[in-house]
A and B are shown apart, each in its own frame.
Chain A
Amino acid sequence: MELNDFAERNKENLGFVSLDAPLLSNLDVWINIALIKQYHENLSAEKARALVLSYLRKYGMEHIAEKRNPALTSKERFCAMLIRAAMVRDAVIVIDRPFTVLTDVKNDRFICDALKVVENSFRECHIFDYMWHKERYRTATA
């Protein structure tokens, strides 16, 4: 199925992880993530920050909370985008070509581990990638 069609069908609950939906570069990581809850659920900044920090702690990445997008490593950027996607209520997470974000990762092990950390925070997760990347998705399920 085409990514755009799928995204359109799940527009209301879409948690998008893609370089086509980058982190906002003039905001700290925690504000980028908190924004979803603050905007859609009117959560106060304090509560949203505490929630974001609890997620970052799960990844051992509390230190990136005050950083901005250009200062992140590819793994930190991916996790931040994944947490942001998980903030959507009943999230249908769509990861679009994950290896364009995770430029220094060879296989899907890191992606699967990252998804396990937030597995209770989303309804579904779908990964869209090129067919020629098929081999890179064998390791975690092997």
Chain B
Amino acid sequence: MSLFKLLHNLPYEGIMINAITRIGAKSINLARTFRDTIYFATVIILKMFSKASYSSAMRVVLVQQIYFTSVQILPLFIGISIIFGTLLMGIVLQIVKNLGLAEHIGSIIMDIVVAELAPFVTVLLIALRSSSAINTEIAVMKVNKELNTLEKFNIDPVDYLFLPRVINGVVSVVLLSAFFSILVLTSGLIFSKALFGLSLESYSNVLLSSANFYDIVISLIKCCTFGFFITLIPIRFGLNATNDLTSIPISVLNGMVDVFIAIVFIEVLSLILIFI
């Protein structure tokens, strides 16, 4: 019996058909969004490896973007890294001591703090600050017809606007994540000395012997992927704005929800890759 006939034999078939239609429409929308994002990502990646994309104008934007994202955020970032990282490090090492897992201290610090926590905290901070700004900026440009200006003067917005922002996302997440790790590892040194009596040399040896090349590569790829998508998605949603001012908050809202979904998706994917 076909699904349609089956549904017509059921009570409330109209409600069920509506529900299935809605689910179908949402699935199609989701698939379209995913397809468009992948297509846009492919265009950006191809442009990334084209020498012609790196004009003087683009390089200026790239430097400015890195300054806005990686340098201006430093006071806030250092503050959060020290407070959050130190507290977390203290708690983790205290638990390690209580459970008698002192011999695993290196792997616990490297696996939890450096490989997982550093990229995650970094990407959340950058997404909150820069992704929303990028989404709004592109949406405002669309509403103000400023993208039209670029078109009239034969300036490719991918080269001039989007590529520097995406490269900046990748560079910033990698650099700030490394910086977060350094700050947290430094506070780890203080706690290791206080709780386990480890010297700087022993602490360094423990960390180095626990560092796994595969995990570092996965972390690096994760940081790059985070940086890529938390800038690419806001750009794409910014472009979805119409000529109406009220479309700006809607575009930012949808963009930021998708950025959050992308962060969770990449995090889960990386965890699967690490633990298989």
A residues near B, CB below 8 A? 7, 11-12, 14-16, 18, 20-26, 31, 34-36, 38-40, 42-45, 48, 84, 88
B155 CB within 8 Å of chain A: yes
Q: Which residues of chain A are within 8 angstroms of B148 by Cβ–Cβ distance?
A: 20-21
Q: Across the interface, do A39 and B55 meet the contact criterion of CB distance under 8 Å?
A: yes
- Interface 1/0 per residue, B139-183 and A, CB below 8 Å: 011001110110011110001100000000000000000000000
Q: Which residues of chain B are within 8 angstroms of A21 by Cβ–Cβ distance?
A: 145, 148-149, 152-153
Least CB distance from A109 to B in Å reads 27
Q: How far apart are the CA atoms of A15 and B56 in the complex, in Å?
A: 20
Least CB distance from A60 to B in Å reads 25
Q: Which residue of B lies closest to A85 (CB)?
A: B153
With A16-B152, A88-B153 known as contacts, the answer to whether A38 contacts B55 (CB < 8 A) is yes
Q: How far apart are the CA atoms of A38 and B60 in the complex, in Å?
A: 9
Quick one: which of B49-81 are within 8 Å of A by CB?
55-58, 60
Q: How far apart are the CA atoms of A21 and B149 in the complex, in Å?
A: 4
Q: Across the interface, do A24 and B55 meet the contact criterion of CB distance under 8 Å?
A: no
Seed contacts A20-B145, A39-B160; 14 additional CB < 8 Å A-B pairs: A7-B152, A12-B154, A20-B152, A21-B152, A24-B146, A25-B140, A25-B146, A31-B60, A38-B57, A39-B56, A39-B57, A39-B58, A39-B159, A40-B155
Across the A-B interface, give the 5 residue pairs with the lowest CB-CB distance, nearest first. A38-B57, A38-B56, A39-B57, A21-B149, A16-B152
Q: How far apart are the CA atoms of A43 and B58 in the complex, in Å?
A: 11
Q: Across the interface, do B57 and A35 meet the contact criterion of CB distance under 8 Å?
A: yes
B137 CB within 8 Å of chain A: yes
Could you say which of A12, A18, A38 has the most chain B C-beta atoms within 10 Å of its C-beta?
Answer: A38
Q: Across the interface, do B56 and A44 meet the contact criterion of CB distance under 8 Å?
A: yes
Q: Across the interface, do A42 and B149 meet the contact criterion of CB distance under 8 Å?
A: no
- Interface 1/0 per residue, B106-128 and A, CB below 8 Å: 00000000000000000000000
Q: How far apart are the CA atoms of A14 and B145 in the complex, in Å?
A: 17
Q: How far apart are the CA atoms of A25 and B139 in the complex, in Å?
A: 13
Q: How far apart are the CA atoms of A18 and B137 in the complex, in Å?
A: 22
Number of A-B contacts (CB under 8 A): 64
Least CB distance from B69 to A in Å reads 15
Q: How far apart are the CA atoms of A35 and B60 in the complex, in Å?
A: 10
Q: How far apart are the CA atoms of A84 and B153 in the complex, in Å?
A: 9
A-B contact pairs, 26 of them (CB 8 A): A14-B152, A14-B153, A14-B154, A16-B153, A18-B152, A21-B148, A21-B152, A22-B145, A22-B146, A24-B141, A24-B146, A24-B149, A26-B137, A31-B60, A35-B57, A38-B56, A38-B60, A39-B56, A39-B58, A39-B153, A39-B159, A39-B160, A40-B55, A40-B155, A44-B56, A45-B60
Least CB distance from A10 to B in Å reads 11
Q: Which residues of chain B are within 8 angstroms of A36 by Cβ–Cβ distance?
A: 153, 155
With A20-B145, A21-B149 known as contacts, the answer to whether A35 contacts B155 (CB < 8 A) is yes
Q: How far apart are the CA atoms of A38 and B160 in the complex, in Å?
A: 11
Contact among A7, A22, A39, A48 with B149 in the assembled complex (CB-CB below 8 Å): A22
Q: Which residues of chain B are within 8 angstroms of A7 by Cβ–Cβ distance?
A: 152
Q: Across the interface, do B153 and A48 meet the contact criterion of CB distance under 8 Å?
A: no
Q: How far apart are the CA atoms of A83 and B155 in the complex, in Å?
A: 17
Contact among A16, A20, A42, A84 with B55 in the assembled complex (CB-CB below 8 Å): A42
Q: How far apart are the CA atoms of A11 and B154 in the complex, in Å?
A: 8
Contact among B141, B146, B155 with A39 in the assembled complex (CB-CB below 8 Å): B155
Q: How far apart are the CA atoms of A84 and B60 in the complex, in Å?
A: 18
Q: Which residue of B lies closest to A17 (CB)?
A: B152
Q: Which residue of B lies closest to A23 (CB)?
A: B149
Q: Which residues of chain A are within 8 angstroms of B55 by Cβ–Cβ distance?
A: 38-40, 42
Q: Which residues of chain A are within 8 angstroms of B152 by Cβ–Cβ distance?
A: 7, 14, 16, 18, 20-21
Least CB distance from A46 to B in Å reads 10
Q: Which residue of A lies closest to B156 (CB)?
A: A39
Q: Which residues of chain A are within 8 angstroms of B144 by Cβ–Cβ distance?
A: 22, 25
